[in-house]
Structure formats: structure tokens, C-alpha cells
């Protein structure tokens, strides 16, 4: 049975750290795991306030896990504010572990509750409440390390780590090794204290017989064989680009402006100068994409990373990349909108912006990643399409993918698909008369069999040419406003995009091969949507489910397979944007929508209900 | 990269040039064509290593007439696009053709940050003090009170001086020229191109249609230019006038025009131009001089050495590659905390 643990405490309590260490220890022990950090937008809201509560949810199981889980089975609350803020995430019969040292009459009253009745008031009556003296345990455990009280109390999260790992009989070696690496040399006393805290927590769990629900096949993993590491979506995107750069032989360039929740990609890429990665922290979002366009003109694999508000600012330049046929990947790590919106919350509401948010008919490829590890593959494929087909590609991820982690089956660059950009020299084009005008000058918009513009990179002798945002004559690139040329170029721009469908694998349908309903998901919701649909299918419903990874052009097979079901149901965190897109681009007559505008992750339970409701609609 | 001998003609592609007859851009174009063979020789780079990037505006059509790599981009963003190109390709000589609207209004942010970063670009700022392509609206450099289609009662905005703004943003090379001074323009462009770092050359150009004679008071004829502009040369006295009889002196914290031999001023009192001074104060004062109170400064106003953005990027990469030699993506992916599922 699957387990969901949520750690909650003050922003400064180290909940992200304990969450990460717990999930990595669990993964190291062979479980499938998926994490979801849930932190406030404020860097450090006042201590002890509900606004300042930071959470981290871990979902693990003996098989691969595709989402962060619904309600938690175990809720850890480091103080009363954390309990108040996150009690709503606890399952009805959850085990709630709280630091009893922090639950005083006064501290509880400050939040407007009565210490005698807070459990009932928060609807936790049926929960198993474990009042653990975490603060005192910490102080006792680290007493020998001669730390001041403030430093000693920083080890409270390690006591919690020890307790939770102990409950599931998961080895603490991984966590201890991590602590030794982090503090061992720099601060031996802090290192010793943290390890003592982990052990104190572990002993507490063992001594009090605190046992989580058991995983019968504990440690026997159903994951595919190989080397794994924990990866979040932002890191995976960055690494996907690094792999694509090496494979294609194009140096990697990232021009970006910091924006939540995309900044992690720029930060990650900035580290890897040893791999030749160049990053420019631009003066604004527009300069982010423009520096990337310039680098691409110079022959780089160029990317820019942003979130919804930044994509809005990049629109005009993205249109230039469409017009001038510039290879470029734009990553939009979606957050709640519109405007500044909900910077730390996830939403899928930039789909139509990515599709249509430019002046003129300006088609481009839109890909969507569906899990943190999938962000690697999608970034790689986005780069492949951009480089091989000489066009901009928008890759949609979201805040949940960016910050969520899961085990990634590490790949070697040698095993990845080839990337062959249409780079040319004058000699290579010598026998292609159509590539040159009557004066022997290069026709910059001449293209290969895939309609990809030949990539003549500055420095290539005899291929000097001019690109630009003005409408051109096909092939020659001479500025032209004639109706025929504009129509021809417009058709070409559309056709170029359509042909990229061949580069992404066909839509994979699971469940019934035909029947009442096809449930479609995309982005970070895919894991939960597919799980809910899979449950209903296994209960005998004639439904199927699939994750859409390529939205423009429509993923191969999608349109044909939709025809095998009476109804198509699209579940997404927006007002129904993919559903609306499918209604306008496919011939299916019955496309329904489960559209959540709460900017919070779906829950499997609620999805089951929603799917059933739509299944039974006339 | 064996250097070839180029002529001006090697750098033009033969497309019909479509600026209005009498437009100052023609003169700048000719000066650029004359400058490039010399730049190619001095930098020892072939024609295919030149790239011209432009934004939007009359001057931005420039790239379509060149036989180099070129990119006519979008309004205001040429400096940003050129920044990416030069960062990715430090081996290229990257030029930016931009106007007063393009670089100082819609693209003001990119302009100042390119100056601040000191990326090795050669930016020619065609300053005609008007929006020409949109047919005659005031620009950020239009003189206060200028009557245009969008300021029928005169502008109420203080104009920017491009050179002053560039110096304020710590550009390492700032020069000013006048469209009709072909040799001066060529010299400024060659110097700017050979300067390591951002070079801004403000070209005072005439828009014969929408802002005719805007620079005429100080630029119209050779005789007027001699009296009303001052050619700055590093290490030389700041003298001007037909017989070099007038000079600039410091009067307290201000510049003052004097006549040598009058009012007790001797040649020794006249300032000597130090373009290499790190301090921007005097450069700012010189760039700020307006006719009729002062002569308009032309020539190299500022030329200081400081590390360029592109060379610093390269340096950091080389340093990291020395620390981690021959690193590959696989080393990153399989390094650090991993575990095996057997």
C-alpha cells in the first residue's frame, strides 16, 4: 500500500531538507517515490504564523509512483501553526506526529485555538495523535556537542527524519552519509549533532513501537534495472539541454531572467561551465529570449527559460524566431495566473498563450512534460526538433514538475536519439543550384527535405546572408509583401510545424481499446489522472486513458484514437484549454472537460468522482 | 583564417539602397564600407566573421545592403540579440545598427546594459532626433520644444544625449561623428571596432524628410563645423575654430569656452583631452556640450580599457575546464548521489 508523508513546519525549520533526505533515503532503499514541496511565497514569514508554514509531501510505494499522493497518512507538525495550516491535508485516520514541546496553552491560543480542543476543531479526532517531545529530544541528543541553543534546535528536523525513517524501518545510512558530506569537514560538531539527532529519532520510533503501515515487499523494487538518481523537473530540463548540446555538437547557451518557478533551470545551467555551457542573466525577459536568438544565429543550441508572465514578454521575439526560422527552445514553467498570479502554485493555463500568444499566424511546436524525470526527455526532444527543423519550440512544464522530484533512470548520451542540425558549408551546397541566386549569393531560406532552412552559421565562407522579421520571398529571402509570397510563406510555416509530429512517439493509450470514454491528461496532473482512470478501468468501466506530450502539432495517433471512444474527457488545471483546442482541431463531437481553476494539484479521489460523473452524463 | 585584402565593394551586396535621397544614412553606409576592409585587416578576420545586427527603423535597414552575415530583428532588441551572438561567438566582429528611437526609447534597457557589461559590440547610433520610418514623431533625442506630428505644441520632454547616456552606463568607448564627415566617421568606426569592449559611436545624421537640418546649426558646412564643433583627440589640447584660436578650460566645476590670448588665458590653461581617464566626469561634461553655449564634441570622447563580458565568459569556462578537464555530460549524470536497482 502506498504511503504519503507530509512534513510541515516554519520556513526556517528545515522541512525541505528533511523531505528531500527522507525521499532520497526511501528511493535509495528501492522504493518508487515522488515528492512535492509546498512552500510559502514569502522567503521568511514571521515564525509561528500560519503564513510562514512550509510543507514537503513524499509519496512512496513498492512500485513506481507517478504523483505526490492525495491526503497524507502521516502528518508531521513542528509547531501549532503547521498543524493549523496543514491539518486539511491529513487523511481521516492519519497518524499526526507533533512536537508536543511547542504546543502550549499560549502558543495555541495565539492562533485562536484552545489547547484542549484544537484536535477536534481541526477535525483530527479520528487521527492517531503522537505527541513527541521533539524539541527536548533534540536538546538531549545534541547535549554533548556544545552547541548554542539556537544551533542545537536546528537539529529538530533530523530527529523527525530519524522518527519517520525508523517507522518504516528504512536505513539511515544514506542520510548520515549526506550529513557527513555536508558538514563533516566544515563543522564537525554540527555534523555530530545532526547524526545524534537522527539516531535519537530512530530510537524513539523503535522504543515507542511507532510503526507505519508495512510495505509487504519492502525494498523489493518494481523499478526497471539501472542507475537512478533523484531529480526535479528544473534540473531535468537543464540536464536534457546539456545532453542535447553534447549530442548535437552545438554549444549550449541559455539567456534568461530570474522568475519563479523557473529560476532553478538558469541556476543549474550556470554551474556547468566545465561543460562549456554559457549563461547570460539578462536585463529582462525580452533580453533573455533575444540573447538566445542571437546565440542561435551564431550556431548555439539556444534556450530561454521563464514562466507565464515572462512568456508574455517574449512574444514578439518568439514571433521573430518563427519568421526567421531560428532554432530555439523556450521553457515555460507554468504558475498560477493571470498577471503576477500565484507565483509558487502550479497551473496549466499558459497552453493557449504558448499556442497563439503572438501577432500574426505564428505556429510553433508546443511540447509538455508530464513528470519531473520526463522533463529531461522533453527538453532533449525539444532541442532535437528545434535544431533539426530550424524553429522555435515551446516546452511547457509547471511549478509542480519544477519542484517535484522522482527517481530518474540515468541515461548515457550515447544511448539517446541522434540530433543532426542542417549545418552547411558552401562546398556541401555546391551541387544545389537552387541554394544560390543568379549572382552566386546564398539563398538564405533554401531548405532541406524536411523544410528546414539550411543553417549557414557566421564564419561559413561564401554563405553570408541576411535574415529578418519582414515577410520574405520563399527561398531567396528577398523582402516581399506580395499576396502570393505571404500566402506561400504562411503555408510553409504551418507545414514545417506539422511535419515535426513524426519526431515524437505516437500517443500511448492504456485501458480499453475502444468504448465509452478516453480520458486525456497532460503536464503534472497526468500521474493522478491516469491513476484515477486506471482504477475505474480495472473496476470494469469501458474507459481508456493517455498522456498527451505533444500539443502542437497534435501528437501522432491522438485524433485517430479519439474516434474509438464515444466521449473524450480532458482533465487539466485551467479553464479547459486543451479541451477547447481539441474541439477546434479534431472532428470528435463529444469532448468534455474536468477543469480545475484552484491552482492546486488534483486528487485521485476527486478525479474518480469527476470521471464517473462525466461518464454518466448524457 | 588567412586575411584577404578587401575593398569597400566586397562588403556591399549590390541590393538597391532605399533610403531617401539626402538621408544621412547613405553617408554612414559609405563610411562603414570604407572602414570594414581596414577593420578586417587590423583584427585579422575574414568577411564571413562580420555580423551586422539591427533593430527597427530607417537605419536598421542597413543590414540588407551588406554582404556580411546580418540579422534585421525587432524594435529595440538589436543590442540584446547582438549580446547573445557575441557571447556565443567571441570570434565574430559584431556590429549593431540602431537609431535614437530603437536604442534610447524601446530599447533603452538593452542599450544601457550592453554598455554596463562592456560586451565587445560596435554600436552605431544613428541619431536623427526623429522617428522617420513611422513618418515624423518626436524621439527621445528630439530637442525640447520640437514640433512634430505627436507634439503639435512642441515637446515637453528633456532629450537624452546618447553619448552622455552611454558614458553614464560606463561604456568603455564613446565617440561622436557627423554624417557629412566621412573620414571622421570611418576613423571612429575603425577605432571603435578595434577597441576591446562596447563601442558606441553616435552619428549625427540628417533626416531630410521629417527633421531636415536638425543638426544644421553646428554641422551644415565645413566652416560652421570648424567654429561650432570641437574635434577631440586623446593627448591633444581642446582647441577649435578656423585657426584653433578657441579652447575649453575648466572654470570651477564647469567647462568654459575661451579665446587663447584673451582675458589672460594662455594655451597652458586649455584642457588636454584624456580619453583614457577612468573617471567619467570630464567625459560627461564634454559629451553634454550643446550649441550655442558650447561647441559640440566630436571624435573619441572616451576610450578606456576594462575586461569585456565575452572574454570574461570565456575565461570562466576555461578556468572550470582546467578544474574539471574533459568533463562530459555522462560524468555529470552519473556523478553524485545515485543508487542502483539490480
Domain parsing of chain B, residue ranges: 8-214
Instruction: Give dist(CA B176, CA B183) in Å, integer.
Output: 13
User: CB neighbours (10 Å) of residue A59?
Assistant: 28
Q: Where are the domains of chain A?
A: 3-207, 229-415, 422-504, 510-615
Candidates B333, B334, B335: best to mutate against A (most CBs of A within 10 A) is B333
Class at the top of the CATH hierarchy for domain A229-415: alpha beta
Instruction: Give dist(CA B247, CA B237) in Å, integer.
Output: 8
pLDDT score, position B3: 62
- Report which of B69, B38, B34, B39 is spatially closest to residue B54, judged by C-alpha positions: B69
Q: Which of B14, B110, B324 sits opposite A283 (nearest CB)?
A: B110
ipTM: 0.98
Task: For residue B330, list chain A residues with Cβ-Cβ distance below 8 A.
Answer: 412-414
Q: Is A249 on the interface with B (CB under 8 A)?
A: no
Three-state SS string across A257-277, please? CCCCCCHHHHHHHHCCHHHCC
- Report which of A297, A296, A328, A325 is spatially closest to residue A453, judged by C-alpha positions: A325
C-beta of residue A590 within 8 angstroms of C-beta of residue A582: no
The set of cell numbers assigned to A96 is 499526526
Q: Is B1 on the interface with A (CB under 8 A)?
A: no
CA B249 to chain centre: 26
- Report which of A424, A472, A483 is spatially closest to residue A324, judged by C-alpha positions: A472
Give the strand pairing for B254-259 and B246-251: antiparallel
Write out the H or E segment, with its range, that includes residue B110: helix B108-117
Percent of chain A with pLDDT over 70: 98
C-beta of residue B115 within 8 angstroms of C-beta of residue B169: yes
Task: For residue A276, list chain B residues with Cβ-Cβ distance below 8 A.
Answer: 317, 321
CA-atom Rg of chain A in angstroms: 27
Virtual CA dihedral for B100, B101, B102, B105, nearest 10 degrees? 110
Exposure of A139 in the CB half-sphere (CA atoms within 13 A): 8
CATH topology of domain A3-207: Pyruvate-ferredoxin Oxidoreductase; domain 3 (3.40.920)
The set of cell numbers assigned to A612 is 464517473
CA distance A297 to chain B (A): 7
pLDDT score, position B337: 85
Under-70 pLDDT residues of chain B: 1-3
Q: Which of B73, B327, B330 sits opposite A413 (nearest CB)?
A: B330
Task: For residue A439, list chain B residues with Cβ-Cβ distance below 8 A.
Answer: 14
Task: For residue A221, list chain B residues with Cβ-Cβ distance below 8 A.
Answer: 341
C-beta of residue A512 within 8 angstroms of C-beta of residue A537: yes
Instruction: Give the Å distances, CA to CA, from A296 to A250, A257, A285, A424.
Output: 10, 18, 17, 15
CATH topology of domain A510-615: Rossmann fold (3.40.50)
Instruction: Give dist(CA A320, CA B73) in Å, integer.
Output: 7
C-beta of residue A87 within 8 angstroms of C-beta of residue A153: no
Instruction: Give dist(CA B137, CA B160) in Å, integer.
Output: 16
Task: For residue A25, list chain B residues with Cβ-Cβ distance below 8 A.
Answer: none
pLDDT score, position B147: 97
Q: Which of B77, B323, B340 sits opposite A290 (nearest CB)?
A: B77
Residue A230's region, left for phi above 0, alpha for psi from -120 to 50, else beta, is beta
pLDDT score, position A215: 57
CA distance A399 to chain B (A): 23
C-beta of residue A547 within 8 angstroms of C-beta of residue A424: no
Instruction: Give dist(CA A565, CA B41) in Å, integer.
Output: 70
Is A464 buried (19+), middle (13-18) or exposed (0-12) by CB count in 10 A? Answer: buried
Contact residues, A window 396-455, toward B, CB-based 8 Å cutoff: 410-414, 439, 441
User: CB neighbours (10 Å) of residue A48?
Assistant: 16
Is A443 buried (19+), middle (13-18) or exposed (0-12) by CB count in 10 A? Answer: buried
At B94, give phi and psi (nearest 5°): -105, 125
Residue carrying C-alpha cell 543508487: B339
Percent of chain A with pLDDT over 90: 91
Q: How does pLDDT run across A119-131, given as a tens digit for each residue?
A: 999 999 999 999 9
User: CB neighbours (10 Å) of residue B340?
Assistant: 11
Positive or negative CA dihedral for A306, A312, A313, A317?
positive
Instruction: Give the Å distances, CA to CA, from A80 to A97, A111, A162, A263, A479.
Output: 11, 8, 21, 32, 68
- Report which of B29, B12, B5 is spatially closest to residue B67, judged by C-alpha positions: B12
Instruction: Give the Å distances, CA to CA, from A252 to A280, A328, A458.
Output: 11, 11, 17
Query: Which chain B residue shows the shortest CA-CA distance from A250?
Result: B88
C-beta of residue A418 within 8 angstroms of C-beta of residue A388: no
User: CB neighbours (10 Å) of residue B135?
Assistant: 11
CB contact under 8 A, A225 and B337: no
C-beta of residue B70 within 8 angstroms of C-beta of residue A456: no
The reply to whether A510-615 shares the fold of A3-207 is no
CA distance B161 to chain A (A): 22
Q: Is the pLDDT of residue A29 over 90?
A: no
Q: Is the pLDDT of residue A218 over 90?
A: no
Q: Is the pLDDT of residue A217 over 60?
A: no
Q: How does pLDDT run across A348-365, given as a tens digit for each residue?
A: 999 999 999 999 999 999
At B82, give phi and psi (nearest 5°): -65, -35
Candidates A22, A179, A287: best to mutate against B (most CBs of B within 10 A) is A287
Exposure of A206 in the CB half-sphere (CA atoms within 13 A): 12
pLDDT score, position A221: 59
CB contact under 8 A, A295 and B334: no
Q: Is A143 on the interface with B (CB under 8 A)?
A: no
Q: Is B73 on the interface with A (CB under 8 A)?
A: yes
Identify each DSSP E strand in A257-350 by its residue range: 278-281, 301-306, 328-334
Contact residues, B window 321-340, toward A, CB-based 8 Å cutoff: 321, 323-324, 327-330, 332-334, 336-340
Contact residues, A window 449-508, toward B, CB-based 8 Å cutoff: 458-470, 479
Instruction: Give dist(CA B301, CA B233) in Å, integer.
Output: 8
Give me the long-range contacts of A530-538 (CB less than 8 A, separation at least 24). A530/A66, A531/A66, A531/A67, A531/A604, A532/A604, A532/A605, A532/A607, A532/A608, A532/A611, A533/A607, A533/A611, A534/A510, A535/A604, A535/A608, A536/A608, A536/A611, A536/A612, A536/A615, A537/A510, A537/A511, A537/A512
Q: Rounded mean pLDDT of A69-98?
A: 96
CA distance A68 to chain B (A): 21
**DSSP class per residue in B140-196:** TTSPTT--BTTBTT---SPPPPHHHHHHHTT-SEEEEEETT-HHHHHHHHHHHHHSS
The set of cell numbers assigned to B164 is 552622455
Q: Is the pLDDT of residue A220 over 60?
A: no
Overall residue count recorded for chain B in this entry:
342
Q: How does pLDDT run across A439-479, given as a tens digit for each residue?
A: 999 999 999 999 999 999 999 999 999 999 999 999 999 99
Query: Which chain A residue shows the shortest CA-CA distance from B322?
Result: A274
CA-atom Rg of chain B in angstroms: 22
Is B253 buried (19+), middle (13-18) or exposed (0-12) by CB count in 10 A? Answer: exposed
CATH topology of domain B8-214: Rossmann fold (3.40.50)
Exposure of A44 in the CB half-sphere (CA atoms within 13 A): 4
User: CB neighbours (10 Å) of residue B242?
Assistant: 10
Contact residues, A window 155-184, toward B, CB-based 8 Å cutoff: 178
pLDDT tier for residue A51 given thresholds of 50, 70 and 90: confident
CA distance B219 to chain A (A): 33
Instruction: Give dist(CA A108, CA A79) in Å, integer.
Output: 9
pLDDT score, position A516: 97
pLDDT score, position A11: 83
Amino acid at each position: 500500500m502506498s504511503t504519503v508523508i507530509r512534513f510541515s513546519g516554519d520556513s526556517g525549520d528545515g522541512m525541505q531538507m528533511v523531505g528531500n533526505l527522507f525521499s532520497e533515503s526511501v528511493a535509495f532503499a528501492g522504493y518508487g517515490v515522488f515528492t512535492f514541496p509546498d512552500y510559502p511565497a514569502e522567503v521568511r514569514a514571521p515564525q509561528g504564523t500560519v503564513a510562514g508554514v512550509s510543507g514537503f509531501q513524499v509519496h512512496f510505494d513498492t512500485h513506481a509512483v507517478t504523483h505526490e499522493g492525495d491526503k497524507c497518512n502521516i502528518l508531521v507538525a513542528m509547531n501549532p501553526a503547521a498543524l493549523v495550516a496543514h491539518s486539511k491535508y491529513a487523511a481521516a485516520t492519519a497518524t499526526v506526529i507533533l512536537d508536543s514541546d511547542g504546543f502550549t496553552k499560549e502558543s495555541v491560543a495565539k492562533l485562536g485555538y484552545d489547547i484542549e480542543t484544537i484536535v477536534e476543531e481541526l477535525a483530527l479526532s479520528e487521527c492517531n495523535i503522537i505527541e513527541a517531545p521533539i524539541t527536548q529530544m533534540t536538546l538531549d541528543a545534541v547535549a554533548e556537542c556544545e552547541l548554542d541553543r539556537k544551533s542545537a534546535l536546528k537539529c529538530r528536523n533530523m530527529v523527525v527524519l530519524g522518527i519517520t525513517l525508523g517507522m518504516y524501518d528504512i536505513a539511515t545510512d544514506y542520510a548520515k552519509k549526506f550529513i557527513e558530506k555536508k558538514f563533516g569537514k566544515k563543522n564537525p560538531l554540527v555534523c555530530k549533532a545532526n547524526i545524534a539527532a537522527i539516531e535519537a529519532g530512530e530510537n524513539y520510533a523503535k522504543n515507542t513501537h511507532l510503526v507505519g503501515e508495512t510495505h509487504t515487499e519492502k525494498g523489493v523494487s518494481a523499478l526497471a534495472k539501472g542507475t537512478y538518481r533523484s531529480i526535479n523537473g528544473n534540473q531535468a530540463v537543464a540536464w536534457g539541454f546539456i545532453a542535447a548540446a553534447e549530442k548535437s555538437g552545438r554549444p549550449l547557451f541559455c539567456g534568461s531572467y530570474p522568475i519563479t518557478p523557473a529560476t532553478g533551470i538558469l541556476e543549474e545551467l550556470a554551474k556547468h561551465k566545465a561543460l562549456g555551457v554559457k549563461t547570460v542573466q539578462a536585463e529582462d525577459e525580452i533580453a533573455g529570449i533575444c540573447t538566445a536568438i542571437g546565440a542561435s544565429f551564431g550556431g548555439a543550441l539556444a534556450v530561454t527559460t521563464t514562466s507565464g508572465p515572462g512568456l508574455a514578454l517574449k512574444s514578439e521575439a518568439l514571433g521573430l524566431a518563427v519568421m526567421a526560422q531560428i532554432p530555439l527552445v523556450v521553457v515555460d514553467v507554468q504558475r498560477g495566473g493571470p498577471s503576477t498570479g500565484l507565483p509558487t502554485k502550479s497551473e496549466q493555463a499558459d497552453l493557449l498563450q504558448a499556442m497563439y500568444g503572438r501577432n500574426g499566424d505564428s505556429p510553433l511546436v508546443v511540447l509538455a512534460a508530464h513528470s519531473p524525470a520526463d522533463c529531461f526527455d522533453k527538453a532533449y526532444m525539444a532541442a532535437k526538433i528545434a535544431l533539426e527543423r530550424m524553429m522555435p519550440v515551446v516546452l511547457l512544464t509547471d511549478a509542480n514538475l519544477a519542484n517535484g522530484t522522482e527517481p530518474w533512470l540515468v541515461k548515457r548520451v550515447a544511448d539517446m536519439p541522434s540530433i543532426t542540425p542542417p549545418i552547411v558549408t558552401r562546398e556541401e551546397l555546391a551541387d544545389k543550384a537552387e541554394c544560390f541566386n543568379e549572382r552566386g549569393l546564398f539563398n538564405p531560406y533554401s531548405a532541406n527535405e524536411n523544410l528546414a532552412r539550411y543553417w549557414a552559421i557566421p564564419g561559413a565562407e561564401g554563405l553570408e546572408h541576411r535574415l529578418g522579421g519582414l515577410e520574405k520571398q520563399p527561398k531567396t529571402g528577398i523582402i516581399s509583401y506580395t499576396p502570393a509570397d505571404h500566402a506561400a510563406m504562411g503555408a510553409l510555416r504551418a507545414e514545417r510545424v506539422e511535419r515535426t509530429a513524426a519526431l515524437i512517439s505516437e500517443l500511448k493509450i492504456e485501458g480499453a481499446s475502444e468504448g465509452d470514454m478516453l480520458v486525456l491528461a497532460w503536464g503534472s496532473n497526468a500521474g493522478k489522472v491516469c491513476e484515477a482512470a486506471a482504477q475505474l478501468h480495472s473496476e470494469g468501466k469501458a474507459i481508456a486513458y493517455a498522456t498527451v506530450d505533444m500539443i502542437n502539432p497534435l501528437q501522432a495517433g491522438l485524433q485517430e484514437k479519439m474516434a474509438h471512444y464515444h466521449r473524450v474527457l480532458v482533465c487539466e488545471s485551467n479553464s479547459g484549454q486543451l479541451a477547447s483546442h481539441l474541439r477546434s482541431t479534431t472532428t470528435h463531437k463529444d469532448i468534455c472537460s474536468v477543469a480545475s481553476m484552484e491552482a492546486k494539484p488534483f486528487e485521485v479521489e476527486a478525479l474518480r468522482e469527476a470521471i464517473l460523473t462525466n461518464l454518466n452524463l448524457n | 583564417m588567412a586575411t584577404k585584402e578587401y575593398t569597400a565593394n566586397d562588403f556591399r551586396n549590390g541590393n538597391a539602397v532605399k533610403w531617401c535621397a539626402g538621408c544621412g544614412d547613405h553617408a554612414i553606409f559609405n563610411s562603414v564600407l570604407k572602414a570594414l576592409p581596414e577593420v578586417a585587416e587590423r583584427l585579422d578576420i575574414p568577411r564571413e566573421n562580420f555580423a551586422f545586427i539591427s533593430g527597427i527603423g530607417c537605419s536598421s535597414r542597413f543590414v540588407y545592403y551588406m554582404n556580411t552575415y546580418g540579422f534585421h530583428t525587432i524594435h529595440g532588441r538589436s543590442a540584446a540579440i547582438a549580446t547573445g551572438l557575441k557571447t556565443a561567438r567571441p570570434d565574430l566582429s559584431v556590429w549593431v545598427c540602431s537609431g535614437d528611437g530603437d536604442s534610447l526609447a524601446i530599447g533603452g534597457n538593452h542599450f544601457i546594459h550592453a554598455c554596463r557589461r562592456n560586451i565587445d559590440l560596435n554600436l552605431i547610433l544613428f541619431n536623427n532626433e526623429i522617428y522617420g520610418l513611422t513618418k515624423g514623431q518626436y524621439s527621445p533625442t528630439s530637442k525640447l520644444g520640437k514640433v512634430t506630428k505627436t507634439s503639435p505644441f512642441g515637446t515637453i520632454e528633456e532629450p537624452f544625449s546618447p553619448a552622455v547616456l552611454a558614458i553614464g552606463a560606463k561604456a568603455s568607448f564613446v565617440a561622436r561623428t557627423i554624417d557629412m564627415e566621412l573620414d571622421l566617421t570611418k576613423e571612429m568606426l575603425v577605432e571603435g571596432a578595434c577597441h576591446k569592449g562596447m563601442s558606441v559611436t553616435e552619428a549625427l545624421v540628417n533626416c531630410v524628410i521629417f527633421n531636415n537640418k536638425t543638426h544644421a546649426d553646428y554641422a551644415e558646412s565645413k566652416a560652421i563645423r570648424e567654429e561650432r564643433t570641437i574635434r577631440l583627440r586623446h593627448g591633444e589640447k581642446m582647441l577649435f575654430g578656423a585657426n584653433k584660436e578657441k579652447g575649453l578650460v575648466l572654470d570651477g566645476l564647469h567647462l568654459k569656452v575661451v579665446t587663447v590670448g584673451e582675458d589672460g588665458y594662455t594655451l597652458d590653461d586649455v584642457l588636454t583631452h584624456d580619453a583614457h581617464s577612468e573617471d567619467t566626469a570630464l567625459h560627461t561634461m564634454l559629451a553634454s556640450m550643446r550649441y550655442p553655449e558650447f561647441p559640440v564634441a566630436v571624435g573619441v570622447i572616451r576610450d578606456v580599457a576594462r575586461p569585456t563580458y565575452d572574454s570574461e565568459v570565456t575565461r570562466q569556462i576555461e578556468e572550470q575546464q582546467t578544474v574539471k578537464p574533459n568533463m562530459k555530460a555522462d560524468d555529470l549524470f552519473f556523478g553524485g548521489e545515485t543508487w542502483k536497482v539490480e
